[in-house]
């Protein structure tokens, strides 16, 4: 390409991952709503035999949302953002284009195989690491392919300064690579013992060591799938959509290195009051509280980026989504450290307050940012304006109400559980049986299920808006500079 010529970006891979984001988002969240109604109405577990039970569907939901919806959205935004901030087009390198296409093909195949194997009950039973060893090997291959595509684009870039978003994407790639390899060390039993299923394996770790490695991985899967790449997304899309510069580049980098150091030590808070060494439990709790600083540093930086431009909240629904996402990020990252304090953990652990905390982060922070980012990308990828602004506004309010219903019901349910489990009479006997707590929680489970259903309705509205934008939105003659153009 000659100097001064316009770079023609190639969005084919970003479009493919956008499709995957929508598909796996619908599948994963639909299963989640079914699970929520099963908890409120247990008879629903019997509608599809063994394939409709909670134990089969739950890993399908968590993997579908975390590694289907969220990862697809992260990959889609990388192949869009990466080209633009590095000032290089994928089509300039046939090798990198081939790597990116293979990345998508193997990724898509892996998620489809995950759906089949998890529904069939083929699982390691390690939370967020349920996939058996053949699929783990596939994951390693396409994760390395993403790294090759990422660092290859960085290597041929024209923009010498790496924008902060690139740092956050790189952290996601490097950290998950390390976490996944160590946690998924497993022995295929068929090749060792000569019996059983060829797909079965056992962890290379045992007992407490297995728990330690698992929750070092589990919590940091949250850190480097649900946090750092989503921060990468908002640091690009909020300034682009609003036309504002990031409030403080120094703060963005300070928060980055703070997250890198502190997050990796916080996983021990999942094992408080367990058999792991007490110093490790305490370190997990302390690091979790310290984690407030870099987390809020990022969130405040995002909100201050809108300083003097808050009027855009009234006119631009994408800004609404992004600002609300930052707000939910702040809520989630103060709630988690509070739950990690030992005295609070004694009441909170194993209760419904924990999924309440997870979901205000996933639904309010992760999903809001991915949906708004892809809607920002759509007019630039398809050269059409967003199909319906009014549909987007309606989606925002339905989903915001849905999240509030979800997490407030789970807060109340969780604290109620914790207090009832710890209630003793004057003789030192438990006041309540387990079934007593189940009966008390029924209305809160029903509210949670209704909130989940409302959120899912919003996801279908988003998917429809994306589809109509790509196929029927008014054609644009030139790319919008900032605020995305929208139909009525």
Provide the pLDDT for residue 4.
44
Query: Who contacts 137 (Cβ-Cβ below 8 Å, separation ≥6)?
Result: none
- Residue 428: C-alpha distances to residues 422, 424, 431, 435, 486 (Å): 11, 5, 9, 19, 64
Low-confidence ranges of the chain (pLDDT < 70): 1-5
Provide the pLDDT for residue 147.
98
Q: Where are the domains of the chain?
A: 12-190+200-472
pLDDT tens column, 151-172: 999 999 999 999 999 999 999 9
Please answer whether residues 135 and 113 qualify as being in contact, where contact means their C-beta atoms are separated by less than 8 angstroms.
yes
Provide the pLDDT for residue 270.
93
pLDDT tens column, 231-286: 999 999 999 999 999 999 999 999 999 999 999 999 999 999 999 999 999 999 99
Dig out the tokens for 100 from the structure: 């990116």
Separation between Cα atoms, residue 71 and residue 370, nearest integer Å: 10
Tell me if the domain spanning 12-190+200-472 has CATH number 1.20.210.10: yes
Compute the residue count for the chain. 488
Provide the pLDDT for residue 3.
46
Provide the pLDDT for residue 6.
81
Beta-bridge partner residues of 202: 187
Provide the pLDDT for residue 2.
45
Provide the pLDDT for residue 5.
60
pTM: 0.96
Angle among Cα 332, 443, 226 to the nearest 5 degrees reads 20
Provide the pLDDT for residue 398.
98
């Amino acid at each position: 390409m000659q100097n001064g010529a316009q770079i023609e970006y190639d969005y084919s891979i970003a479009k493919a991952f956008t499709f995957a984001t929508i598909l796996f988002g619908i599948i994963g969240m639909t299963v989640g709503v079914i699970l929520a109604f099963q908890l409120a109405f247990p008879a629903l577990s019997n509608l599809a035999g063994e394939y409709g039970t909670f134990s089969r569907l739950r890993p399908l939901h968590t993997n579908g949302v975390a590694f289907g919806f969220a990862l697809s959205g992260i990959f889609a935004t990388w192949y869009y953002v990466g080209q633009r901030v590095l000032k290089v087009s994928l089509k300039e390198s046939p090798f990198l284009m081939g790597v990116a296409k293979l990345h998508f093909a193997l990724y898509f195949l892996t998620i489809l195989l995950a759906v089949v194997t998890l529904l069939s009950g083929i699982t390691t039973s390690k939370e967020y690491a349920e996939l058996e060893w053949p699929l783990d090997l596939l994951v390693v291959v396409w994760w390395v392919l993403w790294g090759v595509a990422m660092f290859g684009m960085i290597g041929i870039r024209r923009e010498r300064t790496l924008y902060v978003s690139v740092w956050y994407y790189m952290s996601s790639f490097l950290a998950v690579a390390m976490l996944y390899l160590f946690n998924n060390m497993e022995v295929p039993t068929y090749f060792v013992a000569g019996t059983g299923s060829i797909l079965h394996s056992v962890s290379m770790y045992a007992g407490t060591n297995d728990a330690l490695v698992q929750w070092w991985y589990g919590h940091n899967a949250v850190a480097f799938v649900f946090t750092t790449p989503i921060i990468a997304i908002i640091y690009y899309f909020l300034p682009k959509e609003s036309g504002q510069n990031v409030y403080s580049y120094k703060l963005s980098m300070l928060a980055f290195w703070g997250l890198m150091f502190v997050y990796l030590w916080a996983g021990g808070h999942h094992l408080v009051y367990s058999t792991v060494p007490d110093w490790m439990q305490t370190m997990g709790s302390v690091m979790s509280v310290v984690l407030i600083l870099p987390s809020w540093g990022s969130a405040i930086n995002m909100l201050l980026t809108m300083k003097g431009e808050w009027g855009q909240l009234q006119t631009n629904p994408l800004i609404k989504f992004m600002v609300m996402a930052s707000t939910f990020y702040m809520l989630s990252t103060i709630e988690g450290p509070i739950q990690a304090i030992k005295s609070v953990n004694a009441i909170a652990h194993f209760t419904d307050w924990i999924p309440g905390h997870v979901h205000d982060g996933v639904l309010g922070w992760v999903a809001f940012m991915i949906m708004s980012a892809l809607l920002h990308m759509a007019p630039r990828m398809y050269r059409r304006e967003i199909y319906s602004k009014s549909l987007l506004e309606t989606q925002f309010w339905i989903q915001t109400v849905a999240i509030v219903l979800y997490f407030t019901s789970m807060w109340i349910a969780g604290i109620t559980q914790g207090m009832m489990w710890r209630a003793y009479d004057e003789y030192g006997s438990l006041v309540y049986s387990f079934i007593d707590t189940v009966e008390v929680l029924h209305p809160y489970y029903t509210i949670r299920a209704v909130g989940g259903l409302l959120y899912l309705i919003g996801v279908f509205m988003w998917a429809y808006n994306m589809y109509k934008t790509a196929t029927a939105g008014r054609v644009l003659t030139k790319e919008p500079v900032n605020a995305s153009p929208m139909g009525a």
